[in-house]
Amino acid sequence: MFLRMLVQAGLVLLAGVSVASAVSRPVVEDDFGTSEAGHIEIRSNVHNATGIRYVKNSGICETTPGVTQISGYIDVGTNMSMWFWFFESRNSPETSPFTLWLNGGPGCSSMIGLFQENGPCLVNADRNSTTINPYSWNNISNMIYIDQPIGTGFSYGTDTVNSTEAAAPFVWTAFQVLFESTLFSKYASREFIFGTESYGGHYGPSFVTYFEEQNALIDCGMIDAVPIVVSALMINNGWYDPLIQNVAYLDFATYAPGYGQLQPDDVLQNITEALYGSDGCVAQEEACYAAGNSTGSDKICRKADNYCIENVFVPAVGDYDSYDIRQNSSALFPPEYYKHFLHKKRVMKQIGAQVKYKECPDAPYELFVKTGDDARTWLPELSALADSGMKILIWAGDTDMNCNWLGGHASVLAMDWYGNETLHNTPFTNMTIDGTSVAAVQNVDNFSFARVYGAGHEVAAFQPQAALEIFSQVVRMEQLHSV
Ligand SMILES: *[C@@H]1O[C@H](CO)[C@@H](O)[C@H](O)[C@H]1NC(C)=O
Ligand SMILES: *[C@@H]1O[C@H](CO)[C@@H](O)[C@H](O)[C@H]1NC(C)=O
Ligand SMILES: *[C@@H]1O[C@H](CO)[C@@H](O)[C@H](O)[C@H]1NC(C)=O
Ligand SMILES: *[C@@H]1O[C@H](CO)[C@@H](O)[C@H](O)[C@H]1NC(C)=O
Ligand SMILES: *[C@@H]1O[C@H](CO)[C@@H](O)[C@H](O)[C@H]1NC(C)=O
Ligand SMILES: *[C@@H]1O[C@H](CO)[C@@H](O)[C@H](O)[C@H]1NC(C)=O
Ligand SMILES: *[C@@H]1O[C@H](CO)[C@@H](O)[C@H](O)[C@H]1NC(C)=O
Ligand SMILES: *[C@@H]1O[C@H](CO)[C@@H](O)[C@H](O)[C@H]1NC(C)=O
Ligand SMILES: *[C@@H]1O[C@H](CO)[C@@H](O)[C@H](O)[C@H]1NC(C)=O
Ligand SMILES: *[C@@H]1O[C@H](CO)[C@@H](O)[C@H](O)[C@H]1NC(C)=O
Ligand SMILES: *[C@@H]1O[C@H](CO)[C@@H](O)[C@H](O)[C@H]1NC(C)=O
């Protein structure tokens, strides 16, 4: 259930890739006719059973003249078709960075981010037309949105991914296939920004760590592949460390800064007992961490997850919308018009989609449940990336309860890295835009934390201007500052 709820959240991963020279090998291009998923197909010469099928300039969503878009499938293995949608930068596409956006779940589509958060358009109430988003992140960056794992969104085929760790190689392969093709090879040498949200607190640290491990194998000649050098990682409202973030549900329900006490004392008392009682949420999470990656850990972590969701998360949230405490459980914002739009035959045909769109289907999610993946921490990996000096932004809309900013902040304060003491001693300062406070921020070298005022889980849906400004400062490798 918790994952189910997390699904909506979405992930923002920013990865920076700078590659000396892209692998350039000949590609075969065939015309497939308009009945196929993509009108054009490129098969990989390097990776078995992989390739790209795509449609160029469908005219859907990005309607700015002269801005190229490509949508279709990256086949990352036999019967494994991963949906992607690429938008060229509206400004200086030849020098703009290359940004990957991933939503969370696990098992939620990145079309959430595209149509509700930071993409080129918003779908209107008629569910049949779109309006340009002036705060789209492709104003300053080339953007690619990917539906992973297989089975999510428009992706289809065989899905074997039952953990965060197991998801990484497929995403890595997707970029190998993209950068091998003449369509995308030029982006292999751009800065690679990895933007993600929600379950991206798992995906981000895991995938970037995996990419770096692959880069090391490339460097020492063990594999022949294109390095994916992430230059920045951005995660908003992420699920990093369940032990810390379950405790934070109690803190947030007791006093959500700016919004006060959310639940009555007797409910808070029950949550306290559920957390700290014998065999409570904290003890079970500690047992999950202690079990490491052993096979036996699956059951222990699964049990911990279920217990904490039922006895901590659910009562802490009550009737609030867990993604925006200013709304109740019947929340209407952001609207879901885009789902109806993507179900239209006309739209599917134009963009090259082959299966019915599913925002957060059960199947991929259930595989993660089996291994208790939600209950596991990726804070050690995040700490190691921060310690390496990578540009990292951990940010959160402050009206989200699901992956609330108190838990996100407590997580980064628990990171084991060289900047720990400094971060602890750095007060929050307000970041303003034209004199209006949009976020409370802390900067330590290349690491930044931001609490975005008046934004729910999908930050860019609520505060589009602030989100684009923050994104642009990260892209420029600046510390967060007022403008
Ligand atoms: C491709 O498949 C062949 C035959 O199954 C196998 O020998 C080869 O190692 C595979 N190559 C890669 C790169 O996986
Ligand atoms: C939906 O939009 C398409 C393309 O603009 C148009 O042809 C069609 O008539 C519209 N359908 C409805 C029900 O408005
Ligand atoms: C985004 O880019 C478009 C096209 O260049 C421009 O008209 C618009 O003002 C830009 N939006 C912002 C917020 O800068
Ligand atoms: C491809 O994947 C689908 C969906 O999981 C499955 O039903 C089908 O049997 C698979 N086909 C092959 C050839 O593996
Ligand atoms: C507290 O927990 C007890 C035992 O599970 C339950 O009976 C009671 O209704 C709960 N109280 C509140 C206010 O949720
Ligand atoms: C579990 O496996 C991951 C990936 O191999 C590794 O980074 C991590 O340290 C392992 N965790 C434990 C507790 O052994
Ligand atoms: C949620 O809020 C709306 C608007 O304030 C209200 O009309 C509705 O009755 C509320 N629903 C629930 C379940 O509390
Ligand atoms: C998860 O997938 C791996 C690799 O396919 C498999 O070995 C393992 O048994 C699976 N775990 C569960 C709990 O299904
Ligand atoms: C911050 O990032 C820049 C660009 O990657 C790098 O040159 C610099 O060394 C990093 N700073 C620290 C303190 O790690
Ligand atoms: C980080 O600094 C705080 C405050 O000085 C300290 O209590 C904590 O133990 C440190 N954590 C790590 C992992 O070094
Ligand atoms: C920062 O901005 C918030 C929101 O506008 C405001 O409540 C707070 O007083 C400001 N803090 C400082 C130190 O100016």
> For ligand 3, is residue 118 a contact (CB within 6 Å)?
no
User: Which tokens in the block code for residue 44?
Assistant: 């990989």
Q: Given the CA of residue 47, which atom of ligand 1 is nearest to it?
A: 13
Q: Give the chain's residues under pLDDT 70.
A: 1-38
241-286 per-position pLDDT tens digit: 999 999 999 999 999 999 999 999 999 999 999 999 999 999 999 9
Cα 416 to averaged position of ligand 10 atoms, centre (Å)? 8
The closest of 167, 112, 155 to 359, measured between CA atoms, is 112
Lookup: tokens for 182: 């003449």
Among 44, 45, 47, 48, which is best to mutate for testing ligand 1, by the most ligand atoms less than 8 A from CB? Answer: 48
Q: Is-contact 385 444, C-beta < 8 A?
A: no
Identify the pLDDT of residue 415: 98
User: What structural domains does the chain harbor?
Assistant: 1-240+331-483 (3.40.50.1820)
Distance 166 CA to ligand 6 centre (A): 12
Q: What separation in angstroms does the CA of 460 have from each of 92, 96, 183, 237, 466?
A: 22, 20, 29, 11, 8
Pairing label, strands 192-197, 230-236? parallel
Looking at residue 28, its pLDDT comes to 32
Verify whether ligand 10 is closer than 6 Å to residue 306 (CB atom): no
Q: Which residue has its alpha carbon closest to ligand 6 atom 12?
A: 292
Which H helix or E strand runs over 176?
Answer: helix 164-180
- The per-residue pLDDT for 3 is 38
Q: Which residues are catalytic?
A: 198, 400, 457
Bridge partners for 98 per DSSP: 142, 192
User: Which pLDDT score, from 0 to 100, does residue 40 have?
Assistant: 87
| Closest residue by CA, ligand 1 atom 2 | 48
Closest-CA residue to 274 (of 249, 301, 240): 249
Helix crossing, 281-290 with 297-308: angle to 10°?
160
Asked if 302 and 370 count as a contact pair (C-beta separation under 8 A), the reply is yes
- 328 close to ligand 6 (CB < 6 Angstrom): no
Q: What number of residues does the chain have?
A: 483
Of 160, 300, 368, 371, best ligand 8 pocket probe by most atoms within 8 Å of the beta carbon = 371
Residue 329 CA: which ligand 7 atom is closest? 13
Cβ–ligand 6 distance for 159 under 6 Å, the answer no
d(CA 210, CA 198): 19
Q: Which ligand is nearest to the CA of 436?
A: 11
Question: From CA 94, how far away is CA 65, in angstroms rounded?
Answer: 16
Q: What angle do CA 208, 322, 344 make, to 5 degrees?
A: 75
pLDDT in tens, 218-239: 999 999 999 999 999 999 999 9
Q: Which ligand lies nearest to the CA atom of residue 443 in the structure? A: 9
